[in-house]
Amino acid sequence: MKAESNDPFYEAEREVHISVKKLQHMYSNWNSLPDKNSILAKEKYYLMKDEIKYLNKDVDDLENSIDVVKKNTHKFNISNEEIENRTKSLKNIRAILNDVASDLTNTVLSPNNYMMDDYNNMAINKQNDDLEELAESAERLHNAAITINTELKDQQRLLDELESEMDNSNEKMNFVTKKISDYLQTNNPKILSLILYLTGISIFLLFVLVVS
């Protein structure tokens, strides 16, 4: 009787059987496709090829474990009948994989079939598209950076001009204020009239500066 709870062989074998069932289902779907050169058929084809490769490696590992048991029967509590059953199970799995692989090769990789070239071309085209998209994205970022930098420089220039105008206005106002302060110390009517006149001009200039 199989001591499945104590032997990891059964868990590995169960996983392989599940994967083989999935492979057979995929093969059945692929085999029902009328055009084996369609994109869907090509995609399934290469997926099956990869799956067969991985499953064969798993079967190799399981067969190696059986060989270890055969060479060290005194260390394992496994009967010859059980070893034979395991060997037959793996042979059946290997036969299924070989049948599917053979049919794929005979059907798809015929002399008149250029699926591999088409697949490689699709892969190269996809890589080129990805590179072009990446280049376009980089160019957009570069242009955006240039635009932002230009706007910042324009804003800084406007701020500098405004600051310069404010400094000039402050100097003029300080000059006028000082003169007014000096003139306010006199009672001469002409000087007072001049003060009012200059004050009016200053207000007008300030208004023009603000409006412009």
What is the arithmetic mean of pLDDT over 183-212?
Answer: 69
What is the arithmetic mean of pLDDT over 58-65?
Answer: 90
The reply to whether 22 falls in a domain is yes
Of the pLDDT bands very low, low, confident and very high (cuts 50, 70, 90), residue 85 is very high
Lowest mean pLDDT, pick from 100-104, 114-118, 131-135, 180-184? 114-118
Query: Which CATH number belongs to the domain containing residue 40 in this structure?
Result: 1.20.58.90
The reply to whether 120 falls in a domain is no
pLDDT of residue 38: 84
Of the pLDDT bands very low, low, confident and very high (cuts 50, 70, 90), residue 109 is very low
* pTM for the model: 0.49
What range does the domain containing 32 cover? 8-110
Instruction: Classify residue 188 by its DSSP letter.
Output: -
pLDDT of residue 139: 60
Which of 110, 133, 154 is at the close of a domain? 110
Lowest mean pLDDT, pick from 76-85, 134-143, 149-158? 134-143
180 has pLDDT over 80? no
- HSE-CB at 3 with a 13 A cutoff on CA atoms is 6
23 has pLDDT over 70? yes
Which amino acid would we find at residue 63? E
Q: How far apart are alpha carbons 201 and 127 in whole angstroms?
A: 72
pLDDT tens-digit map of 42-57: 888 889 999 999 999 9
Specify whether the CB–CB gap between 56 and 91 falls below 8 A: no
Using left for φ > 0, alpha for ψ between -120 and 50, and beta otherwise, residue 142 falls in alpha
Pair (15, 105) in one structural domain: yes
The reply to whether 170 falls in a domain is no
The reply to whether 121 falls in a domain is no
100 has pLDDT over 90? yes
- Spell out the SS3 assignment of 61-87: HHHHHHHHHHHCCCCCCCCHHHHHHHH
Which of 90, 110, 130 is at the close of a domain? 110
pLDDT of residue 111: 41
What is the arithmetic mean of pLDDT over 61-86?
Answer: 86
How many domains does the chain contain in total?
Answer: 2
What is the arithmetic mean of pLDDT over 111-122?
Answer: 53
What is the arithmetic mean of pLDDT over 155-181?
Answer: 72
Which of 110, 142, 159 is at the close of a domain? 110
122 has pLDDT over 80? no
